[in-house]
Chain A
Amino acid sequence: MKILAVDDDPIILELLSHFIEGMTDHTLVTAECAADALEAIKDNARAPFDSFLLDIQMPVTDGIQLASQIRAMKQYMDAPILMLTAMSEKSYIDAAFSAGATDYVTKPFEMTELKARLSLVERAVEGLATRTSKVFAAKAVTHHDGRPERAVQLHEPMAIHDVNNLIEFMALENYVQQLSRSDLFGSICFAFNIRDVEIFHENMSNFEYCSMLSDVGEIISDTLEGCQFLMSYAGGGTFVCITESGWRPDPKLLANNINISLAKTELFDNRGQHINPRICAGKAVRLMWKTNSSVMDALSEAHASAEEATANYQKVQNDFWNVGRTA
């Protein structure tokens, strides 16, 4: 991997260089401020970076602003960004995840921890390369009816960009894992599932499907505006949300509001046909008293609950038309 590390402390940069170049096969480029980092990105345009290590607290442009600027570059929309942070910077960590960070490493570094995090990043970079090659392959292959081959699998989490507080699923998992016991006390996760997502997935082109997911994500994000939350698209038409502000969401009420916004927003496919995505909400799952692994189970529980709500909705719809019928 080719990594760009940005930190205003030369000792940190020396430590990172020493560790990464001495103990791994990765290549490290360093910068002492955001301006130098942007210059390095420009200078390395022909052989771009695979991932970034950014200090949060830097003068002039901090690491959170820099993460946003890197995310805004088309080339680095999905590149892993690890924030370098001290334990005292919890509020900054939240902002960093919102700005597009994938994970964080706590200073002072434990070399074993840094190595483990870099291994995760390397796997993410490899996964990214595989997905990118699939997308390029998909462009060349078409269905017999002329529809392009779908690159996004139905149950695959997908990065959706430019939606407030919507982060990658891997980043959401990392975010949840860093919540402390006191943070977990007020944290709740809940999820929304797009009804008939299989039909959308089957009948839409990859671009249409991704656009539809992005539009639904944006409407969910707009509906939750004003509440402290992070959300992610987890695949299968499900958006998982987490709040840690002590706010107790009413998922069903939120689902109604989201569906009203969806109804008011005119969404079309590429052929100009009106599309009507609607969502169902699962139950709100409290995270308090949960350990690291059961916190991840809680995310799955919220996800499954939203899918179950959709299944129940569809069953009720079917049963309604079957009332009074006999074989």
Chain B
Amino acid sequence: MHKKLELPGIERIRARFLDMLEQRQRALAEHALAAWEGSTLQEINDNLAEARTILHQIAGTAGSLGFDDLGTIARNNELAIDAHLDGPNGKIASCPTEIIFGLDDFLKSSEALIAGQSAMESA
């Protein structure tokens, strides 16, 4: 359950965030898969960079809307991708398993959050 903000009218923005989260998680999954299956350095790194941009946006707003845990997971994944791309392994055409596992954790958390919200709304 998310922590409620005191700001009145925040529910509308929270609902929009969750709508966008569905689209973002789909895009994130596509980029993660493309990076994992990529064969060239550019293909892998470009897809990781796209995934990183999506995570960065989620991490920047989730906390303000009361989804602190999701924001933290997004930020940790963002930092992991940054560390990979900026490090020596960022020059090798290989996508680390840890990054894919991290993204998988994020996607599971995201799906659970959306499912939890839908259940609350229909209750």
Is A15 a contact partner of B64 (Cβ separation < 8 A)? yes
Q: Can you show 8 pairs from A to B with CB atoms below 8 A apart?
A: A12-B60, A12-B61, A15-B65, A18-B13, A19-B7, A57-B53, A108-B59, A111-B7
Is A9 a contact partner of B60 (Cβ separation < 8 A)? yes
Is A14 a contact partner of B13 (Cβ separation < 8 A)? yes
Interface size class of A (residues with CB under 8 A): 20 to 34
Chain B residues in the interface with A (C-beta under 8 A): 5, 7-10, 13, 16-17, 20, 53, 56-57, 59-65, 71, 75, 78-79, 82
Give which listed residue, A11, A23, A107, contacts B16 with CB less than 8 A.
Answer: A11
Residues of A within 8 Å of B57, CB to CB, are: 8-9, 11
Residues of B within 8 Å of A18, CB to CB, are: 7, 9-10, 13
- Given that A15-B13, A57-B56 are contacting pairs, would A88 and B82 also be in contact in the complex, using a CB cutoff of 8 Å? yes
- Given that A18-B9, A108-B59, A108-B60 are contacting pairs, would A11 and B20 also be in contact in the complex, using a CB cutoff of 8 Å? yes
Residues of A within 8 Å of B9, CB to CB, are: 18, 22
Residues of B within 8 Å of A185, CB to CB, are: none
- Given that A14-B16, A18-B7 are contacting pairs, would A108 and B61 also be in contact in the complex, using a CB cutoff of 8 Å? yes
A109 at the interface (CB under 8 A from B): yes
Is A108 a contact partner of B63 (Cβ separation < 8 A)? yes
Is B62 a contact partner of A108 (Cβ separation < 8 A)? yes
Within 8 A of B (CB), among A1-35: 8-12, 14-15, 18-19, 22-23
Q: How far is the CA of A14 from the CA of B56 in the complex (A)?
A: 17
A86 at the interface (CB under 8 A from B): yes
Residues of A within 8 Å of B20, CB to CB, are: 10-11
Q: How far is the CA of A8 from the CA of B61 in the complex (A)?
A: 12
Chain A 94-134 near chain B by CB (<8 Å), digits 1 or 0: 00000000000001111100000000000000000000000
Residues of B within 8 Å of A15, CB to CB, are: 13, 61, 64-65
Residues of A within 8 Å of B8, CB to CB, are: 22
Is A107 a contact partner of B60 (Cβ separation < 8 A)? yes
- Given that A86-B56, A108-B71 are contacting pairs, would A11 and B5 also be in contact in the complex, using a CB cutoff of 8 Å? no
User: What 3 pairs across the A-B complex have the smallest Cβ distances?
Assistant: A108-B63, A107-B60, A108-B64
Residues of B within 8 Å of A88, CB to CB, are: 75, 78-79, 82
Q: How far is the CA of A87 from the CA of B78 in the complex (A)?
A: 12
Residues of A within 8 Å of B16, CB to CB, are: 10-11, 14
Residue of B nearest to A11 (CB): B61
Q: How far is the CA of A9 from the CA of B65 in the complex (A)?
A: 14
> Shortest Cβ distance from A288 into chain B, in angstroms?
25
- Given that A11-B16, A86-B56, A88-B78 are contacting pairs, would A107 and B61 also be in contact in the complex, using a CB cutoff of 8 Å? yes
- Which of the listed residues A23, A84, A86 has the most CB atoms from chain B within 10 Å of its own CB? A86
Q: How far is the CA of A88 from the CA of B76 in the complex (A)?
A: 10
Residues of A within 8 Å of B64, CB to CB, are: 15, 107-111
Q: How far is the CA of A23 from the CA of B9 in the complex (A)?
A: 11
> Shortest Cβ distance from A219 into chain B, in angstroms?
36
Q: How far is the CA of A278 from the CA of B59 in the complex (A)?
A: 50
Residue of A nearest to B64 (CB): A108
Residues of A within 8 Å of B82, CB to CB, are: 88
Residues of B within 8 Å of A111, CB to CB, are: 5, 7, 64
Residues of B within 8 Å of A57, CB to CB, are: 53, 56
Residues of A within 8 Å of B60, CB to CB, are: 9, 12, 84, 86, 107-108
- Which of the listed residues A15, A87, A111 has the most CB atoms from chain B within 10 Å of its own CB? A15
- Which of the listed residues A86, A107, A110, A111 has the most CB atoms from chain B within 10 Å of its own CB? A107
> Shortest Cβ distance from A183 into chain B, in angstroms?
18
Residues of A within 8 Å of B62, CB to CB, are: 108
Is B7 a contact partner of A23 (Cβ separation < 8 A)? yes
Q: Known pairs A19-B7, A86-B60. 16 more at Cβ < 8 A?
A: A9-B60, A11-B16, A11-B61, A12-B61, A18-B13, A57-B56, A86-B78, A87-B75, A88-B78, A88-B79, A107-B61, A107-B64, A108-B63, A108-B65, A109-B64, A111-B7
